[in-house]
Amino acid sequence: MHHADLAAGHTFADVPPEAARWIIDDIVAARRRRSGVPPLRIEATDTGLVHELGSGGPTVGGPQADLLGWLTGRTGGSGLTSPDGGTVPTAPYRI
């Protein structure tokens, strides 16, 4: 991930899928321990990863690498969609 941060010729797609999943799982677990995190469902369209924070929130989907960049606050969510028809919300890391 730090290679992507440093613009050293790497992107979040270069993060091995197993490592990306571990990082996403860790982020979601940390958000579940905090109060005030809005409900959200994330779905990786390429790996089958699905997480829910609460219930009744919007769904954000896309490639796992794009979800990783968004959830870590390193990207704005390009490449992601909200199948619910809305815009991709701000990632919950900012709360």
> Which domains are delineated in the chain?
2-94 (3.30.1050.20)
pTM reported for the whole predicted model: 0.87
Report how far apart, in Å, the C-alpha atoms of 66 and of each of 12, 15, 35, 52, 72 are: 7, 11, 25, 17, 10
Query: What digits encode the pLDDT tens for the residues 15-61?
Result: 999 999 999 999 999 999 988 888 999 999 999 999 999 888 889 99
pLDDT given at position 88: 86
* Residue whose entry in the numeric block shows the structure tokens 């390193």: 74
* Residue whose entry in the numeric block shows the structure tokens 């809305």: 86
Does the pLDDT of residue 92 top 90, yes or no?
no
pLDDT given at position 64: 97
pLDDT class of 95 with cuts at 50, 70, 90: very low
